[in-house]
Amino acid sequence: MNFTRIDLDTWSRKPYFEHYLDRVRCTYSMTANLDVTRLLAEVRLKRIKLYPALLHMITAVVNRHLEFRTCFDAEGRLGYWDRMSPGYTIFHDDDKTFSSIWTSYCDDFHAFYNRYLDDSNKYGNVKGLAAKPNEPPNTFPISSIPWVSFTGFNLNIYNEGTYLLPIFTMGKYFPQDGKIMIPLSAQLHHAVCDGYHAGVLFRDLQERAEACTDWL
């Protein structure tokens, strides 16, 4: 993983970044329903799990766009990672708690899927907030609320407001007009992502879901 620093003085986004970080510091969330009819049919046909397929799909799109990889590093320097990996939640049914695991991303889904299965087997029953140790800095969070087909989701984060990476939350899939839809919320920081970028994000996610036979 490589971190490339951004020269703020020559960055075309400088006025927007400074406005939404220093003067009107804000994040925003957008929730959209993705059509996963084809994706769900494909994972069932191949007898693979839906959750890692969605993790891979989201991460692949995040890695396409610099806006979703831009953040501050451990020294507080602004820049972007060349590659991101997902940090995601797993649910413990016995005590209704959750833990976080991360899996190193790779473009090949089957290699990623095997890594996901290995991590699930090793850390799936480990309790505590962080089940898998040594999470690298180039990860971003994905969580699931598979009990609710929500129409909106917003995280109220009370800290310095300088976490710039996207945060994703997926809900329960449901039938609609002969299709299977899944709600997905993306929490974005306005300093690095505008409404246009959110639109590109959901457009690319839908296109990748429809082209699932090319990568599953």
| Mean pLDDT, the chain, whole residue set | 97
Question: pLDDT-based confidence at 99, cuts 50/70/90?
Answer: very high
Q: Tell me the mean pLDDT in the region 166-171.
A: 98
d(CA 10, CA 26): 23
Tens digits of residue pLDDT in 103-123: 999 999 999 999 999 999 999
Instruction: Determine the pLDDT at residue 158.
Output: 86
* 60 neighbors 142 (Cβ within 8 angstroms): no
Q: Tell me the mean pLDDT in the region 2-23.
A: 96
Tens digits of residue pLDDT in 26-73: 999 999 999 999 999 999 999 999 999 999 999 999 999 999 999 999
pLDDT at 156 over 90: no
The catalytic site residues sit at 190
Does the predicted TM-score (pTM) go above 0.95? yes
